Chain A
Amino acid sequence: MRRLAWLAALVVAFGPNSHSVVSPQSPQPGEELQITDNEVGHYGGSLVVAQPTEPKTLNPVTAVDVRSREVIGRMMADLIHINRDSQKTEPSLAKSWTASLDGRVFTLRLRRGLRFSDGQPFNADDVVFSFQVYLDEKIHSPQRDLLIVGGKPIGVQKIDSYTVRFTLPQPYAAAERLFDSLAMMPRHLLEKAYREDRFTQLWNINTSPVEIAGMGPFRLKQDVPGQRIVLERNPYFWKVDTKKNRLPYLDELVFLVVGNEDAQVIRFQAGDTDIMSRVNAENYALLSRDAQNRGYELFDLGPSLEYNFFLFNLNDLKGASASKIGPKSAWFADLRFRQAVSFAIDREAIVKLVYAGRAVPLWGNVSPSNKLWMDQSLPHPARSLDHARALLKSADFSWRSDGRLLDRQGRAVEFSVVSSSSNNQRTKMATIIQDDLSKLGMDVHVVPLEFRALLDRVFQTFDYEAAVMGLGGGDADPNPEMNVWLSSGSTHLWHLGETKPATDWEAQIDQLMQKQMIELNYDRRKRLYDQVQEIIASKVPFVFLATPNILAGAKKNLANFKPAILEPTTLWNVEELYFRQGSGASAGAKR
């Protein structure tokens, strides 16, 4: 036994490369731990997940990209959490909360006796500090927008060491959902740098693991730039299973950098990784062919919340792009032209050819999987080229003898569609649309662009004619969609930077969205949002195409694996995951 201890000491002494394992602290008296109802597992093993790029930062306040947030999310915890499985809010670091009758004041009670992953205690001061940082204008946190309600920031007040009061400037529907994914940060590690205005440089990927601490199930162990990030168990994590075992079960969580999805599929097939978080339908079909032999299981969770759409550039154009695209804007601005395009697109073919049937066609901005908010009465007009032609005719378009479509001035209708070259699905959609519209006599060119170049054109220079894009996937609630549908929104893609609504219907959407935001009653709120969906569907600022299913895969011996349609789809309950013994050891354990 003593010899073993010696060995362990040696292993620890030989630095982060060795397989040192931190054992979980046994529950202490005075700790208000959360008891989870998952299947009781056992400790050990490491879970390997592939990521297309390494995180750009580990700072929860400045992180904007999905990859960084996926890693940070495993190391941090929030006050109130949206359960990815039930899509409802549940207590997290706050064990309970009360809302005032007018829905403006929220009082949160924190769990007592919790500690950060470095062993330091957690209390209301950390919460107040965290919100101070999120709300700081100088730091430009992407979360700040969410915490500004009706133009004013949320008020945060410490009542005692374990009670915090939040005051909203105006009533806000589903306000407790705001707290989800807002990481609570350790004041003792960050305050000094924050006072010295160095906050944004903190916690980058070169930061030493001892300087980073959070309330999440894992903490940073090692970062090999460009290759992998290794997280190890947070021995002080605040959840236990029904047998009083402190979670997480896994010793380690490894994020491996694997360039693209195809390479990820190969690594997953080879058993190098334990989870495929997101697979496209074709690779899903490929993987399912030898799922039996290779010991993994695949999951089709049904439609995601993402919506893919085709949009025309309706921006106010200036300079060079105005003279180039200007004459075409008149077509795009004509509602009948947009409707005709919508009628001509074969959504069933997109579902079949792009997503191999694992998707649903879409006629509105809310995915059918969002049962709480989708307007069921929205019409699903069938594809009809005749209808499309009639609409074009009524808008004074005509056809040349060779079938080409001409506008009122006799110009042939011709435009290009940009799509992201790294997103094969969207480029395929564009190719199908190109063929569909050629049947109406339109000459459409598909131009795949590098993703950044595409974003630059769509958000900055407006130098494009039409595009195939996708949005959504964050939360099922309508509020995160505000920035898309409000005419002043930062993602109001078809017409950015409107100072006042450009059309009557956009003004109407603005009003309805504002109203639903402060409406606390679900039924009334739903009716308002239904109206928004109806306006969007009838005025066609976006031509909605399809929403893909969420497809995932995992090793068969991975227990408690419950993929969900909300991000992060597979790792949201990573603390509950463990490897069943027997049927083939995990790749992770061998590593």
Chain B
Amino acid sequence: MWAAVIFLALLHAVIVFAGFIAPYDPVGQNRDLPFVPPTRLHFIDAQGFFHIRPFIYQSTARPQSLYEYEESGVRAYPIQLFVRGPEYKIAGLFSSRIHLFSVEGPAQIFLAGSDNYGRDQFSRILYGGRISLGAGLLATAISLALGLLLGTFSGFYGRWVDESVMRTAELFLVLPWLYLLLAVRAFLPLHISPIQTFCLLVVVIGSVGWARPARLVRGIVLTAKTRKYVVASRGFGASDQHILRRHVLPHTYGVLLTQAALLVPQYVIAEVTLSFLGLGLSEPLPSWGNLLANLQQYNVLVSYWWMFAPALVLVVFSLGYLAVADRILKQLQSITV
């Protein structure tokens, strides 16, 4: 349990501090270096001496070839820590130029290779995570807030409120959300700014998924409100608000937490799907879906294995969340039993 939580926390921290950890500007093109494979880190130099500080060799294009590179072993470029590079902002607040690591020019360090335009894929994955993960988390928050609100109302007040909310929820459950998203995107004007696109993605993804949490919350509220202590406190003249806050809602928190852990990866994948289909943020801004969209081309798919790196990150990240959700669920069951 804790391993997964710590891992997830680290992953999120890395993505929040993307600007600091990424060595390069995610949209900076190096037109002489398209599709460079991941840079190899060396510890042992040509003379056979061991270095504690890893170093790299510059990748240069092999003459008369297409996108093939070799290490020019002439000069070693040691990895440097805390170097000045392109300006960035952390959480949109602090701006800085200090990067965790980099190498001296003209060598470039591409930990996850470079893409068609010679952009550093490692930096793009980190920056892309800000968008994909941000969209996932915010959309989850929206879904859960809506679910909690509507589920509570529905369960607590019953009758026609319950009927109408639950029927609407069923409608949303059967909705083919992907097509809905495609339709919504198609209605929008030609060009909307990246921030608008992002907000739109979040709102649409988030508001489509409220039905399941709402049903779960309603169920819990329904059983909770018949408990003896609830009846008792009502007998003492407690207000609805008080009963909800003190006696009913605390029961839902566990379910909400599980739902959150399940929904975040699901919504991140929703964002990835939309961007993959070209409906999310547009080039050159990175998101995990945009990065994966490169794999739509057959030649990229079979020629440049490092272009799968964003998929790997996505898999690891989803597994982390699912492991946490699993643990929370087990914990909850052991409490209720």
B-binding residues in A (CB < 8 A): 262-263, 265-266, 282-283, 285-286, 346, 349, 352-353, 356-357, 416, 418, 421, 424, 427-428, 431-432, 434-435, 445-449, 457, 463-464
> Are A463 and B116 in contact, with the CB atoms below 8 A?
no
Q: Once the chains bind, are A353 and B116 in contact (CB under 8 Å)? A: yes
B283 touches A357 (CB 8 A): no
**Which residues from chain A contact B283 at a C-beta distance below 8 Å?**
427, 431, 434, 446
- The 15 sampled A-B contact pairs (Cβ below 8 Å) are A262-B297, A262-B299, A282-B299, A285-B303, A286-B298, A349-B31, A352-B31, A418-B190, A432-B117, A435-B27, A435-B117, A446-B283, A447-B190, A457-B190, A464-B190
Chain B residues contacting A352 (CB-CB under 8 Å) are 31, 34
Which residues of chain B come closer than 8 Å to A263, judged between CB atoms? 298
How many B residues touch A, CB cutoff 8 Å?
20
Residues of A contacting B: mostly: helix
Q: What residue of chain A has the Cβ atom nearest to residue B302's Cβ?
A: A286
Point out the residues of chain B lying under 8 angstroms from A434, CB to CB.
Answer: 283-284
Q: Are B190 and A356 in contact (CB under 8 A)?
A: no
Closest to A415 in B: B191
Residue B278 is within 8 A (CB to CB) of chain A in the complex: yes
Question: Given A346, A432, A463, which contacts B190 in the complex, CB threshold below 8 Å?
Answer: A463
Complex-state Cα separation, A434 to B119, whole angstroms: 14
Residues on B facing A (Cβ under 8 Å): 27, 29, 31, 34, 66-67, 116-117, 190-191, 278, 282-284, 297-300, 302-303
A431–B303 touching, CB < 8 Å: no
In the bound complex, how far is the Cα of B190 from the Cα of A464, in angstroms?
A: 8
Cα distance A286–B27 in the bound complex, in angstroms: 27
In the bound complex, do residue A416 and residue B284 qualify as a contact, i.e. CB atoms below 8 Å apart? Answer: no
**From B67, which residue of chain A is reached at the shortest CB distance?**
A356
Cβ of A432: which chain B residues have Cβ within 8 Å of it? 29, 117
Contacts of B297 in A (CB 8 A): 262, 282, 424
- Which are the 4 A-B pairs with shortest beta-carbon distances? A262-B298, A416-B191, A282-B299, A286-B299
- One of B190, B191, B284, B302 near A435 (C-beta < 8 A): B284
CB distance from B144 to the nearest CB of A (A): 33
15 additional A-B pairs beyond A262-B299, A353-B116, beta carbons within 8 Å, are A262-B298, A263-B298, A265-B298, A266-B298, A282-B299, A283-B299, A286-B298, A286-B299, A349-B31, A352-B31, A424-B297, A432-B117, A446-B283, A457-B190, A464-B190
**Closest B residue by C-beta to A357:** B66
Cα distance A353–B31 when bound, in Å?
7
| B284–A431 CB distance below 8 A | yes
A357 and B191 CA atoms in complex are apart in Å by 32
Contact A286 B303 (CB under 8 A): yes
Q: Closest chain B residue to A432 by CB distance? A: B117
Q: Which residues of A contact B284 (CB under 8 A)?
A: 431, 434-435, 446
Establish whether residues A285 and B117, one from each chain, have CB atoms under 8 Å apart when the complex forms.
no
The CA of A418 and the CA of B297, in the complex, are separated in Å by 20
Question: A447 touching B282 by the CB < 8 A rule?
Answer: yes
